[in-house]
Structure 1
Amino acid sequence: MSDTPLTIENILAPELALCRVPASSKKRVMETIAEQIQQHDPSLSDTEIFNNLVSRERLGSTGIGQGIAIPHCRLEGLDRVVGALLTLEEGVAFDAIDNQPVDLVFALIVPKEATSEHLELLSQLAEKFNEKAFCDQLRQCTDADSLYRRMTVEGS
């Protein structure tokens, strides 16, 4: 692991900021995340990512309320943290704590051994997503480029 502090900026690649993704279900959202990450890094297995996300989700929904979910999992053999940001075309049922449909998703795939960094990132994300104005700005983005910029440069 490098000494670079883990921030949203250095885990989210522009190609993994996806705007207005069509998804009909929570499962489809997880599949899309896994497929996109695998396309971005072919050394990773989309099946493994999907299965790990689903397993984590079974422990309790990662829907944190207000239409936001932060699905996350650990992945064997991963040497860095990978993030993916999606806005969904329409909200999907996510078993969120407030039972609201989710339309804003930030997925976090972390190395098997990452623990404190993982928790630190989750808290950074939760803090950002706690700001309603920030979430509204993300939801208003109409293309991946503006979504990425808003999440990283402008949002920090």
Structure 2
Amino acid sequence: MNLSEILRPEAIKVVASASSKKRLLHDIGELAHGVYGYDSTLVIEALMERESLGPTGVGNGVALPHARLAEVTDMSAAFILLEKPVNFDAVDRQPVDVVMALFAPEAAGVEHLKALALVSRTLRSADLCNKLRANHDPATLYALLTQDQNTQAA
């Protein structure tokens, strides 16, 4: 699996700021609706329910919110770069500015885990995150995220 298989170029957005974690999840829901046609209310509710189980802020300014939804037929993703980081209750207590949301079919098992692992491995790279933070053009962000897929898939 490659990021280019689950992330569409138009599913990348740069947001000046989000007032809260909840507002950021709303932005993700709206982006998922605009790009994939998902019901934004259901996306937001599913993401908030998942966050209630434990925060998906993985540290170093990165969050990986994810949810399983009945209307999703294939793994998909949305990426948001925040110009101003927001508190996300991350494990390292640092605010978040790099966010990759994943949407999986309700019955997805191993595919959901593979996608989470792929995104986690990709965004664990401090070098990549620094490049993402230095660029605010969605096309450039997409290129950075999907480049060198052979290395990331290994």
Q: TM-score, normalised by structure 2?
A: 0.93
Structure 1 residues 65-80: aligned runs within 5 Å:
65-80=59-74
CA–CA separation in structure 2 for the residues paired with 1:83 and 1:10: 9
Q: Let me know the Cα RMSD of the aligned residues.
A: 1.3
Amino acid at match of 1:124: L
Partner residue of 1:3?
none
SS in 2 for 1:97: coil
Structure 1 position 101, deviation (Å): 0.2
CA–CA separation in structure 2 for the residues paired with 1:41 and 1:132: 29
Partner residue of 1:34?
29
CA–CA separation in structure 2 for the residues paired with 1:7 and 1:146: 17
State yes or no: 1:19 paired with 2:14.
yes
CA–CA separation in structure 1 for the residues paired with 2:89 and 2:71: 30
Structure 2 unpaired stretches of 5+: none
Partner residue of 1:127?
121
SS in 2 for 1:99: coil
CA–CA separation in structure 2 for the residues paired with 1:80 and 1:153: 22
Identify the match of residue 7 of structure 1 among 2, 7, 22: 2
Structure 1 position 8, deviation (Å): 1.0
SS in 1 for 2:147: helix
CA contact (8 A) 2:75 2:111 kept: no
SS in 2 for 1:120: helix
Structure 1 unpaired stretches of 5+: 1-5
Equivalent pairs, count: 150
Identify the match of residue 131 of structure 2 among 137, 145, 149: 137
Runs of 4+ in structure 1 deviating by more than 4 angstroms, as ranges, are none
CA contact (8 A) 1:18 1:147 kept: no
CA–CA separation in structure 2 for the residues paired with 1:9 and 1:74: 20
Amino acid at match of 1:58: S
